[in-house]
């Protein structure tokens, strides 16, 4: 697993994706942020349950 460290400069938006919560599937919360890691970029972060992950990089 690779970790990166970036400075978030702005939150561009957030939304929730539906889940089958009645089957124990956690709701996914997604955030789109502007950040600086070597150069400015846009990341989409996903929280599912208690963990966060990088969903995609939107240069």
Which pTM does this prediction carry?
0.70
Number of Cα atoms under 13 Å in the Cβ half of residue 59: 3
Per-10-residue mean pLDDT of the chain, 59 residues long, equals 80 90 87 87 88 81
Each domain of the chain, given as residue ranges in start order, spans: 7-50
Instruction: Find the helix or strand (DSSP H, E) in which 10 lies.
Output: strand 7-17
CA 57 to chain centroid, in Å, comes to 10
pLDDT of residue 15: 93
User: HEC states along 15-28?
Assistant: EEECCCHHHCCCCE
pLDDT score, position 40 = 85
Identify the helix (H) or strand (E) that includes residue 32.
strand 28-37
For position 10, what pLDDT does the model report?
A: 94
pLDDT of 1 reads: 62
């Amino acid at each position: 697993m690779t970790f990166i460290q970036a400075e978030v400069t702005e939150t561009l938006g957030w939304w929730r994706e539906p889940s089958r919560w009645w089957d124990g599937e956690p709701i996914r919360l997604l955030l789109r942020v502007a950040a600086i890691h070597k150069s400015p970029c846009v990341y989409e972060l996903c929280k599912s349950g208690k963990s966060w992950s990088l969903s995609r990089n939107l240069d």
